[in-house]
Chains A and B, each alone.
Chain A
Amino acid sequence: MSTVTLIHGLNLAAIYGLMAIGISILWSSVGMINMAHGATFAASGYAAWQVSLIAQPLIAAWLGTGLDASIAMGATMIASGLGAGAIFGGLIFLLAYLPIHEKANFAVRSLIVTLAINLATVQLLLYFFGPRQRALPKIFGLGRTEILGIPIRNDQLGTIVATALLMLVVVIWLKRSRKGLEITAMMQNPEGAVLSGISVRWTALPVTMLTGALAGLAAILLSQTVFVSPTAGALPLIKGLTIALLGGLGSIPGAIMGAILIGFLEAIVGSISFLGQRYVLFSQFLFIITVLIIRPRGLGGLLDQTRESRNA
């Protein structure tokens, strides 16, 4: 395997991981499959694009075009992506969680509601922004950096580093902070968490916002290589869902491992000349289906105890 493939694989794994972890955390703590994750992705991409239109001249006027300016721009983009994702997550909480979380058959209902949100968001984006694709400013610059003698494209390096940092922050936050511990408690044992005085509602809000922010970040990072468009969320959503499924819904280590496996599979299949890009998706899904038939609870079952499906 060449180093280029390796880096490419890591890059893809980082983005898929962000999507899959969001879906996984939301399922295990709230019991909701978020089909509007793709809509969050697209909406955050557009929000960041809108912000970049406003911020670019401002930053250029203030800091010129030096390194400071590009760092400021990058920070603005990431912040706007995270912020827009979190706000969208809050919206999902208001529409798909708060009104129905006590009714029967919540899992299917929330799935339907989030599907409707997804449908509506894509159409709204189409309505306001049109089907044209938009390019986000390159926040990591265009050149290559040499690390240990390996030349890496800046955007790939940036994506990998930013994702790794953010995941570290999320994991530490989940393990250390009070709210994070509450979320972890809900993931492990929802009834027990409720009995020990953790409010289900007010724990669900930060969870939806956090997962929304993760999708927003994924949108900013993926938009370094592809464009922002209203339907851009569909493929990341499906990949995120299937990777979360592969990792065993609800398990964070499983989702990370699934993302790495799928990312590398994509990079490797894409680099083999006689298979090429056209068989990437095919090979990925074949792999996922095979794993799921052998292990219905996904990879997470190997790593830790995943939560029983609430639907059962």
Chain B
Amino acid sequence: MPEMKKLYEIGNRPREIFLSPDGETPTRRSRVPFTRRHWLKWRSRYNPKSLKLEKRLEDKKPLWWMLSLGLLLLVTPFLGNSALTVASIFCMFAAINVLWTLIIGTAGIFSLATLAVVGVSGYAAAAFNVYLGVPWPFMFVIGCLTGLVAGGVLALPSTRLDGLYFALLTLGIVEICRVFVQQLKSLGATNGSINQVDSFIPSDWFLQREGLLLGFFGAFALLLGALLLFKLVNSERLGMLLQTARDEEAFAEAIGIDYRRARLMVFMISSAGLGIIGAFYAMYYRSISPSIFSLDQLLLLFAMIVIGGIGRADGAVLGTAIVVLIDKGLLDLGPVRILIVAAIMLLVTLLTNNGLVGAREQFRNYRNRKKSEARARRTEKGGEVMPEEATDMPDKQEIFYRRFNKRLRDELKLLITPELIEEHRRKPLGRHSDALSRVLNYFRRSEMPDKYAILRQPENFNHYKIVALSGERGAPPRLVDDRLYESIDEAYHAVFLLRVNDLLES
């Protein structure tokens, strides 16, 4: 077998990941335990050029996830204390945003009460811990249950109200929570916050290096859990049902998908998840204050998912990273950093279709459009079929016929000279030079519609006019012009000139 030639590195190929398996042994892909999913999306195919078997990684996103999360996990423990706090906050907010993406993207419920669910569960968990002495591991359970209940209460109006109406209503609910907590008499002394919450971080480690590290690992585990939940809901049965129902609800209902129930399920599941995050939040800070219900905090969180792109987990995490880095990492800038966030939010919304993660796809579409526009400008048409119309033609033979015809015409145009015309004028019939007979042959073969013909005038034997045939049975020919030709040779030449004219114009 000859040695394979080196393939030119053009197109996307250099950026793809390929394995070259042995063609004799069957490929084996390991599965995720207890499921039918594979870890990575390898696809085998034969390279059309070299005819060698190769395995291509179709979806490189898992690698990017591994890389970025692994880097975060490895690098963060060696950073300073403030950077460690920023990383922990990032993990926490990213977890919230991933679950929020589940609500807005997968379930399609435009809820702005996400932080309210987190806050309510955090308050419930903290209150149970501080006032009833429930030990901290059970705070997660309490948070989860509270989240579930809060989700259920929120879901109640979501079945009646649609889209933006529900979003505005949830905005009001957030405000209620804030006012309610601030005005609870029992919390009056602490301005509405619950302090001294027990935590998974031992109290003598709190705000120390060990405590911060433990907090970061906890937040990281939370983020992983949120991503896992996202994967389980979004790309398994529930997510599939909702994806089917996304565009055509009536159709989905007709084929037996109860999309309302699926939506509520997703909403409740994410709310329960948010409840766990709420309990974690209270434990991480060892206190919880009404600022979690503030409009500014909500807007900042909304800015995160908007910048990243609504509906995708990577968008939620990316947006969170950007906003948290600006908001918590550049504390020296003061109020300017919120301005930067607002400016990014504005630019992203004005310029992209779906946040930063959608920008790549959008750019590709834009580039393809520009490419095809440029191609259309480059190709002189001249009767040749454009790639765009070629797809619409049922008879592909037609495409090749028209291409041949165009080349032929280009060739013939070069043959038309004053001498050639003069030759025809002198002798319209009989033996001609090679060039003239080629041109005439082409004219003779042309299609029937609009073919010229000579009509002898009935009143006078030697008078001729030129007509153009309609090409349709029953439809009479039309008169080309009113000129009267005195001899048949003159008429022949006139027809020739008309055709040459048409040829040069085409």
When chains A and B are docked, how far (Å) is the Cα of A252 from the Cα of B167? Answer: 21
When chains A and B are docked, how far (Å) is the Cα of A120 from the Cα of B179? Answer: 24
Whether A116 and B157, one on each chain, are in contact in the complex, defined by CB atoms closer than 8 angstroms, is no
Contacts of A72 in B (CB 8 A): none
Whether B169 and A115, one on each chain, are in contact in the complex, defined by CB atoms closer than 8 angstroms, is no
List residues 251-279 of chain B with CB under 8 A from any CB of chain A: none
Whether A33 and B349, one on each chain, are in contact in the complex, defined by CB atoms closer than 8 angstroms, is no
Closest B-chain residue to A118, C-beta based? B299
Closest A-chain residue to B160, C-beta based? A296
Whether B176 and A285, one on each chain, are in contact in the complex, defined by CB atoms closer than 8 angstroms, is yes
Judged by a CB distance under 8 angstroms, whether A302 is at the interface is no
Judged by a CB distance under 8 angstroms, whether A25 is at the interface is no
In whole Å, how far is A277's beta carbon from the nearest beta carbon of chain B?
Answer: 9
Judged by a CB distance under 8 angstroms, whether A312 is at the interface is yes
In whole Å, how far is A26's beta carbon from the nearest beta carbon of chain B?
Answer: 13
When chains A and B are docked, how far (Å) is the Cα of A127 from the Cα of B173? Answer: 30
Which of A51-59, A103-111, A155-163, A208-216 lies at the binding interface? Answer: A103-111
Whether B165 and A115, one on each chain, are in contact in the complex, defined by CB atoms closer than 8 angstroms, is no
Contacts of B138 in A (CB 8 A): none
Whether A123 and B171, one on each chain, are in contact in the complex, defined by CB atoms closer than 8 angstroms, is no
List residues 147-183 of chain A with CB under 8 A from any CB of chain B: none
Whether A115 and B168, one on each chain, are in contact in the complex, defined by CB atoms closer than 8 angstroms, is no
Count of A interface residues, CB-CB < 8 Å: 43
When chains A and B are docked, how far (Å) is the Cα of A133 from the Cα of B180? Answer: 25
Q: A116-B345, A119-B341 are in contact. Are A126 and B335 (CB under 8 A)?
A: yes
List residues 454-501 of chain B with CB under 8 A from any CB of chain A: none
Judged by a CB distance under 8 angstroms, whether B420 is at the interface is no
Which of A40-48, A82-90, A137-145, A237-245 lies at the binding interface? Answer: A237-245
Interface SS of A by simple majority: helix
List residues 331-366 of chain B with CB under 8 A from any CB of chain A: 334-336, 338-339, 341-343, 345-346, 349-350, 353
Judged by a CB distance under 8 angstroms, whether A249 is at the interface is yes
In whole Å, how far is A180's beta carbon from the nearest beta carbon of chain B?
Answer: 26
Cβ contact of A241, chosen from B171, B306, B350, B353, cutoff 8 A = B171
Sample (8) of A-B pairs whose CB atoms are under 8 Å apart: A117-B346, A119-B299, A120-B339, A123-B339, A127-B336, A238-B175, A238-B295, A281-B176
Query: B-contacting residues of A (Cβ < 8 Å)?
Result: 33, 95, 99-100, 103-104, 107-109, 111-113, 115-120, 122-124, 126-127, 234, 238, 241-242, 245, 249, 278-279, 281-282, 285-286, 288-289, 292-293, 296, 309, 311-312
11 more CB-based (< 8 A) A-B contacts, given A119-B296, A312-B162: A108-B164, A120-B338, A123-B339, A123-B342, A124-B339, A238-B175, A242-B168, A278-B179, A292-B165, A292-B169, A312-B163
Closest 8 CB pairs of A and B: A311-B163, A120-B342, A116-B345, A278-B183, A119-B342, A123-B338, A116-B346, A296-B160
